[in-house]
């Protein structure tokens, strides 16, 4: 049953519509990421859930209670910002305790709760330190503990890792997910980093120009993108232009391929867009491969564990990845080559 429901949410700033008819139901304990480029509306939706922005239309319901017109301090929500927002004149203990003190919680309960939170984030030994004495990753852990201390119904995370270096980002996102699972708190995580969203989410909302282009599990988002934008934004993808031959066949250069998807609605000669992941194709056929594309090798790049090669097929540049193997022999640039893959891996992009 839905715990957090966003119904027909719209938001305009003056004449500019930044969120268009956004709808979503989130289950209790679910971890959902809003993924998209800058300006797509993901943070605006988050701010409306938090109460920092009021929807121009639509409703926000948490656990059966309409929150749409409530102020932020009237909502039982914890929020973690990109810039930590810790109080510089307070030590770690007092930063985590701040929300509890404002709520008038008894001192004995505050001490107990803060100690629990510091143990949860692994920083009990730094309770007396001030923010300037800590690393960025440690400060963000404290910000997370402060947001969780009042036991909120919903946790909102607004690009909390973007100010950190790559190695810290990876370890902290895994820690955030582990804490979220342990507490079972309903969480919305805003990010522009596709790897972050795919690696830690139960579901991902891919946003584009104020709309949710697709909502699905990471597996669904990556393997079956619903629109051209999702296909191009999530992961590395080959977008291939072909011409329709009939209801099941398409021509790409000199190749005619039989698709698994029906081409009903297209007529002979229509241009069509297809998508193929680089990891789906190989120069060496596997038992599942039933489709081939032949072209000319244009480049090959050694990337350590992976070798990425590009092929020109009827004017389309198609990249494909192979795991490094000392015995692997790659065709030279300018040589003909044939890619092998399964027809199921070739997707028709309709939008």
- Closest by Cα among 88, 141, 134, 150 to 119: 141
- Do 251 and 113 share a structural domain? no
Domain count, the chain: 2
Crossing angle for the helix pair 92-102 and 136-148, nearest 10 degrees? 20
Domain closes at, from 171, 192, 227: 227
Q: How many H-runs (helices) and E-runs (strands) does the chain carry?
A: 8, 19
- Expressed as residue numbers, the domain containing 252 is 236-349
Q: What is the CATH number of the domain that holds 332?
A: 2.40.50.100
- Do 247 and 184 share a structural domain? no
Report CA-CA distances (Å) from 216 to 31, 184, 298: 12, 20, 36
Residue 23 clears pLDDT 90, i.e. is over it: yes
- Among the ranges given (25-34, 129-138, 153-162, 276-285), the one the predictor scored with the smallest mean pLDDT: 276-285
Asked if residue 49 lies in contact with residue 77, where contact means CB atoms within 8 angstroms, the answer is yes
- Do 62 and 17 share a structural domain? yes
Residue 153 clears pLDDT 90, i.e. is over it: yes
Sheet holding 77-80, edge to edge: 77-80, 154-158, 186-191, 31-35, 203-208, 211-216
Residue in the structure block whose two tokens are 């990891």: 279
Helix (H, G, I), strand (E, B) or coil at 139: helix
- Do 145 and 53 share a structural domain? yes
- Do 257 and 182 share a structural domain? no
- Do 340 and 246 share a structural domain? yes
Report, as an integer, the average pLDDT of 253-273.
86
> How many Cα atoms are found within 13 Å in the side-chain-facing hemisphere of 274?
29
- Do 201 and 255 share a structural domain? no
Asked if residue 110 lies in contact with residue 97, where contact means CB atoms within 8 angstroms, the answer is yes
Helix (H, G, I), strand (E, B) or coil at 110: helix
Q: 351 pLDDT band (50/70/90 cuts)?
A: low
- What pLDDT digit, counting tens, does each position of 283-336 carry? 888 888 889 999 999 998 877 778 888 999 989 999 888 787 777 777 789 999
């Amino acid at each position: 049953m839905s715990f957090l429901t966003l119904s027909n949410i719209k938001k305009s700033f003056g004449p500019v519509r930044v969120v268009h008819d956004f709808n979503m139901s989130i289950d209790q304990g679910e971890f959902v990421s809003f993924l998209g480029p800058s300006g797509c509306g993901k943070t605006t939706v988050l701010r409306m859930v938090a109460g920092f922005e009021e929807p121009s239309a639509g409703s926000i319901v948490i656990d059966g209670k309409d929150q749409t017109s409530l102020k932020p301090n009237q909502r039982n929500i914890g929020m973690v910002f990109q810039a930590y927002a810790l109080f510089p004149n307070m030590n770690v203990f007092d930063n985590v305790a701040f929300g509890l003190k404002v709520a008038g919680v008894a001192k004995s309960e505050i001490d107990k709760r803060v100690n629990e939170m510091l143990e949860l984030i692994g920083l009990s030994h730094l309770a007396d330190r001030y923010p300037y004495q800590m690393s960025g990753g440690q400060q963000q852990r404290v910000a997370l503990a402060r947001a969780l201390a009042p036991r909120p119904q919903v946790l909102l995370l607004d690009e909390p890792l973007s100010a950190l270096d790559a190695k810290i980002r990876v370890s902290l996102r895994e820690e955030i997910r582990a804490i979220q699972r342990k507490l079972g708190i309903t969480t919305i995580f805003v990010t522009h980093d596709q790897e972050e969203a795919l690696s830690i989410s139960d579901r991902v909302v891919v946003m584009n120009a104020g709309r949710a282009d697709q909502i699905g599990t990471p597996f669904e988002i990556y393997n079956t993108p619903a629109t051209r934008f999702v296909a191009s934004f999530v992961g590395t993808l080959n977008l291939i232009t072909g011409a329709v031959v009939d209801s099941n066949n398409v021509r790409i250069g000199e190749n005619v391929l039989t698709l698994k998807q029906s081409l009903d609605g297209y007529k002979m000669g229509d241009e069509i867009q297809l998508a193929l992941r680089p990891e789906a194709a190989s120069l060496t056929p596997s038992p599942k491969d039933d489709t081939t594309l032949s072209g000319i090798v244009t480049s090959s790049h050694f990337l350590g564990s992976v070798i990425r090669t590009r092929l020109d097929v009827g004017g389309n540049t198609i990249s494909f990845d192979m795991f490094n193997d000392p015995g692997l022999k790659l065709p030279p640039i300018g040589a003909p080559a044939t890619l092998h893959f399964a027809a199921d891996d070739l997707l028709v992009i309709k939008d």
